[in-house]
Amino acid sequence: MVEINSYDDLVAAANEAAQRFAAKIDSAISVNELMEIEPGIKGKKSAFVEFRKFLGRLEPDERPSAGAIVQEIVSNLNQAFDTKFQALKEIERKISLQEDRLDLTEVIAGLAGSPVGMRGKLHPVTQAREKLEDTFLGMGFSVEEGPEIETDWFNFEALNIPPSHPARGMWDTFYLDIGEPETILLRTHTSPVQVRVMMTQKPPIYSVMPGRCFRRDTPDARHLAVFHQIEGLVIDKGITFASLAGTIDRFTTAYFGPNIHARLRPAYFPFTEPSAEFEINCTICEGHGCRTCSNTGWIELGGCGMVDPNVFLAVGIDPEEWSGFAFGFGIDRLVQMRYSLPDIRVLIENDLRHSMSSRYN
């Protein structure tokens, strides 16, 4: 900055700064660019603060007019800045509205010349659930459903998880304020439907049970508090662990195609013994290793095992005569895998820009 030693210097410098900043305001083409100019005009270290300080060093009779000049320049610049800010903000708002615009009346052309286009599609989780049901129906299973609001007995006790059993910690439960405390809850898994099926049907049983589940989990990239599972239950004579392994592998290949296989790893669940976790080849890299599967080539899908005799006893099935296996896994997680979604929460965001995407066909 030129040195200021007199009234004339001050007025010249203030006018020069006024012109310089007016030109900058004029040429700014974005709110960001404008904000970079702001400290020079309004900031504590702006030239105008210096000018004001210099007023004190002028002769007393020069001060009022110099002060008025500086004041007018500052208020003109402030006004020009604010006007430009509003204008740029409005332009940017219009551009972003335009960019985010979705034509909800758009009709996508129908298949092979069919006059009827597709106006929307089912949620990817619904699509996955339907495909899973079809796959199991094709393998001779029936599809059953149970209530989302359950009693403690169905959700835990009949599944060999008595009150105060440490395994209850595996499921962070939403209890409802109905009846005795902690007796009615939002089901934490679809396993209670197994119990309902065993109590209402006589073996042999070949069933899958899809549905919504609830846990007091904080949602993150891989968890939702409201999610979907599909449960499987087979009870017959002579069912062994090999039947379980074979069924899971058959299902995996039927659902994902010939390149994807399943493997079992020892685990613990109170309602099955022995228990296992089942993993499939990562469907994104087909087992070669990628970011999604942390380069292991495998992705955990769910739990399974041979139905524990205590569960049979709770529902009145003779474990000497019948044996069976059960499994359960998360459908949302499957969808996350299928579409390589880095964050599972996009499934519940209701952001039409995601759901209109052709990825979710």
**Footprint (CB under 6 A) of ligand DAH, residues 267-326:** 269, 271-272, 275, 302-305, 326
| 176-192 residues labelled b (16+ CB within 10 A) or e (exposed) | eeeeeeeebbbbbbbbb
- The minimum distance between CB 319 and ligand DAH, in angstroms, equals 15
Which residue stretch of 87-95, 101-109, 265-273, 342-350 sits at the interface with ligand DAH (rule: CB under 6 A)?
A: 265-273
Contact 326, 233 (CB under 8 A): yes
In the complex with ligand DAH, the residue whose CB is nearer, 24 or 215, is 215
**Footprint (CB under 6 A) of ligand DAH, residues 44-83:** none
Rounded to whole angstroms, how far apart are CA atoms 243 and 322?
Answer: 14
- The minimum distance between CB 322 and ligand DAH, in angstroms, equals 16
Contact 70, 54 (CB under 8 A): no
- The minimum distance between CB 350 and ligand DAH, in angstroms, equals 26
| Dihedral over Cα of 13, 19, 20, 22: its sign | positive
The correct pick among 150, 227, 327, 344 for binding ligand DAH (CB under 6 A) is 327
Q: Which residue is nearest to ligand DAH (CB)?
A: 303
In the complex with ligand DAH, the residue whose CB is nearer, 162 or 342, is 162
The correct pick among 328, 332, 336, 338 for binding ligand DAH (CB under 6 A) is 328
- The minimum distance between CB 153 and ligand DAH, in angstroms, equals 16
- The minimum distance between CB 234 and ligand DAH, in angstroms, equals 11
Maximum CA extent, the chain: 112
Contact 46, 17 (CB under 8 A): no
**81: Cα within 13 Å, side-chain hemisphere:** 22
Would you give the binding string for ligand DAH spanning residues 201-240, x where CB under 6 A is met?
A: ------------------------------x---------
- The minimum distance between CB 230 and ligand DAH, in angstroms, equals 10
Would you give the binding string for ligand DAH spanning residues 141-180, x where CB under 6 A is met?
A: ----------------------------------------
Q: Which two tokens stand for residue 17?
A: 């700064």
Q: Which two tokens stand for residue 116?
A: 């009827």
Q: How far is CA 114 from the centre of its chain?
A: 35
- The minimum distance between CB 280 and ligand DAH, in angstroms, equals 15
In the complex with ligand DAH, the residue whose CB is nearer, 232 or 287, is 232
In the complex with ligand DAH, the residue whose CB is nearer, 146 or 303, is 303
Q: What is the residue type of 134?
A: D
- The minimum distance between CB 177 and ligand DAH, in angstroms, equals 24
In the complex with ligand DAH, the residue whose CB is nearer, 46 or 160, is 160
Count residues contacting ligand DAH (CB under 6 A)? Answer: 14
Contact 292, 222 (CB under 8 A): no
- The minimum distance between CB 32 and ligand DAH, in angstroms, equals 48
| 192 lines the binding site for ligand DAH (CB under 6 A) | no
- The minimum distance between CB 326 and ligand DAH, in angstroms, equals 3
* Sequential DSSP letters for 183-239: SEEE-SSSHHHHHHHHHHSPSSEEEEEEEEEE--PPPBTTB-SEEEEEEEEEEETT-
In the complex with ligand DAH, the residue whose CB is nearer, 211 or 287, is 211
Rounded to whole angstroms, how far apart are CA atoms 55 and 170?
Answer: 73
Kindly report the three-state secondary structure assignment for every residue of 28-90: CCCHHHHHHHHHHHHCCCCHHHHHHHHHCCCCCCCHHHHHHHHHHHHHHHHHHHHHHHHHHHH
Question: How many CB atoms are located within 10 Å of the residue 283 CB?
Answer: 21
In the complex with ligand DAH, the residue whose CB is nearer, 272 or 281, is 272
- Which parts of this chain interact with ligand DAH (CB under 6 A)? 189, 191, 231, 269, 271-272, 275, 302-305, 326-328
